[in-house]
C-alpha cells in the first residue's frame, strides 16, 4: 500500500462560518495505480489533492505514505518528503515567466545534491519525454498552452517522483492538447509512477485505472475501470 488516508477531515474556520471541505475520507491507493477524481465544483477535490501533496494539512485524521505517518512530520521533514517523492501538475501551469523552460524545470532539482551535469542531463531527458525539446530555451510566454502544460509535466517528473498529483491538467487545453497530456500521463503510469488526477472530463477519467467520485467532501463511489 502506497497511501492510506483514515478519517481525514479538513475544516475551514473564519469568524462567522465553518466550511467542511473534507468530511471523513478513507482512501487507499496502491503503488502504480492511476486514479481519477471527479465531482462537482466545491466538493473538495483540490483540498484532497493538496492534502495528498502535503501542501495543506488535515484538521484531523491520519495520512500514511508507505511506512511514514505524514501528519506527524514538521515542515522541514515535509519539504524533504515532497522533494523526494512528489511531482505536481496544476491547471494553471505555474511556470516562472522570467526563466526559460529548461531553467523552470531545473529549478525542481536545485535543492538536491546533484552535480550540474546530472541536472542538465535530467532536464534534457524530461523535455524530450514530453516532446518539447525544441522549445527548451524559450520562455513560457513563447509557448502554446499545450506546450506550457507539457513543460509543467516535465518539471513534475524531472525529480523522478513516485507519486504524481495533477489538478485538472487538461482543464485549460483543447481536445488535441488534452489528449497529448493524457498520453504522457498514461506513459508515466506504464513506467511505474502512481498518478492521482482531478478531472472534469469523463472521457479522461475513463483512461485512468480507477475512478473516485466525490460529493460534499466525501468519497461516494470508487470503481475500477475495465482497461
Ligand atoms: N482557503 C479556504 N478558506 C475557506 N474555504 C475554502 C478554502 N479553500 C477551499 N474552501 C472551500 O472548501 C470546499 C472545497 O473546495 P475545493 O477547492 O477543494 O473544491 P473543488 O472540488 O476542487 O472545486 P473545483 O472543481 O471548483 O476546483 C469549497 O466549499 C470551498 O469553498
Ligand atoms: Mg479544484
Is residue 60 predicted with pLDDT exceeding 90?
A: yes
* Integer Cα distance of 130 and 35 in angstroms: 21
Substitution candidate for ligand 1 out of 8, 13, 46, 49 with most atoms within 8 A of CB: 46
Task: Say how many CA atoms lie within 13 Å of 173 toward its Cβ.
Answer: 27
- All residues with CB under 5 Å from ion ligand 2: 46
How close is the Cα of 49 to the center of ligand 2, in Å?
A: 9
How close is the Cα of 124 to the center of ligand 2, in Å?
A: 31
pLDDT at res. 227: 66
Give me the number of domains the chain comprises.
1
Residues 211 and 205: beta-carbon distance below 8 Å = yes
Bin 145: left if φ > 0, else alpha if -120 < ψ < 50, else beta: alpha
Can you give the pTM of this predicted structure?
Answer: 0.94
SS3 116: helix
pLDDT at res. 188: 94
Is residue 111 predicted with pLDDT exceeding 90?
A: no
Which residue, chain included where needed, has cell 472530463? 201
pLDDT at res. 225: 87
Which of 146, 155, 156, 157 shows the shortest CA–CA distance to 181? 146
Q: Which domain holds residue 186?
A: 3-224
* Cα torsion angle, 198, 201, 205, 211, sign: positive
- State how far the alpha carbon of 128 is from the alpha carbons of 40, 89, 159, in Å: 35, 17, 15
Regarding the beta carbon of 168 and ligand 1, being less than 6 Å apart is answered no
- Residue range 184-208: average pLDDT? 96
pLDDT at res. 37: 98
Q: Express each pLDDT in 13-44 by its tens digit.
A: 988 899 999 999 999 999 999 999 999 999 99
* Integer Cα distance of 59 and 22 in angstroms: 9
Which residue, chain included where needed, has cell 493538496? 50
Residues 29 and 35: beta-carbon distance below 8 Å = yes
How close is the Cα of 143 to the center of ligand 2, in Å?
A: 25
Q: How confident is the model at residue 112 (pLDDT cuts 50, 70, 90)?
A: confident
- Residue range 134-155: average pLDDT? 96
* Integer Cα distance of 70 and 72 in angstroms: 5
pLDDT at res. 15: 87
* Integer Cα distance of 195 and 96 in angstroms: 24
Q: Express each pLDDT in 67-106 by its tens digit.
A: 999 999 999 999 999 999 999 998 888 999 999 999 999 9
Q: What percent of the chain has pLDDT over 90?
A: 90
Substitution candidate for ligand 1 out of 47, 212, 220 with most atoms within 8 A of CB: 47
CATH of the domain at 172: 3.40.50.300
pLDDT at res. 50: 96
Regarding the beta carbon of 12 and ligand 1, being less than 6 Å apart is answered yes
* Integer Cα distance of 70 and 86 in angstroms: 13
How close is the Cα of 221 to the center of ligand 2, in Å?
A: 18
Amino acid at each position: 500500500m502506497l497511501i492510506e488516508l483514515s478519517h481525514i477531515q479538513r475544516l475551514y474556520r473564519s469568524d462567522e462560518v465553518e466550511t467542511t471541505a473534507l468530511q471523513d475520507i478513507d482512501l487507499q491507493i496502491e503503488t502504480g495505480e492511476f486514479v481519477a477524481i471527479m465531482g462537482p465544483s466545491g466538493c473538495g477535490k483540490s483540498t484532497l489533492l493538496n492534502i495528498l501533496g502535503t501542501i495543506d494539512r488535515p484538521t484531523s485524521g491520519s495520512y500514511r505514505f508507505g511506512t511514514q505517518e505524514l501528519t506527524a512530520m514538521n515542515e522541514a521533514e515535509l519539504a524533504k518528503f515532497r522533494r523526494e517523492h512528489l511531482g505536481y501538475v496544476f491547471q494553471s501551469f505555474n511556470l516562472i515567466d522570467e526563466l526559460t523552460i529548461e531553467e523552470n524545470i531545473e529549478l525542481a532539482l536545485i535543492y538536491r545534491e546533484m552535480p550540474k551535469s546530472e541536472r542538465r542531463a535530467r532536464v534534457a531527458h524530461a523535455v524530450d519525454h514530453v516532446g518539447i525539446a525544441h522549445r527548451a530555451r524559450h520562455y513560457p510566454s513563447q509557448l502554446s498552452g499545450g506546450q506550457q502544460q507539457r513543460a509543467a509535466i516535465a518539471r513534475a517528473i524531472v525529480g523522478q517522483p513516485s507519486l504524481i498529483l495533477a489538478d485538472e491538467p487538461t482543464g485549460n487545453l483543447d481536445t488535441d492538447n488534452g489528449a497529448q497530456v493524457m498520453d504522457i500521463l498514461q506513459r508515466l503510469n506504464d513506467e511505474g509512477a502512481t498518478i492521482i488526477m482531478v478531472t472534469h472530463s469523463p472521457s479522461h477519467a475513463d483512461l485512468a485505472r480507477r475512478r473516485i467520485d466525490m460529493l460534499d467532501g466525501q468519497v461516494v463511489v470508487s470503481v475500477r475501470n475495465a482497461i
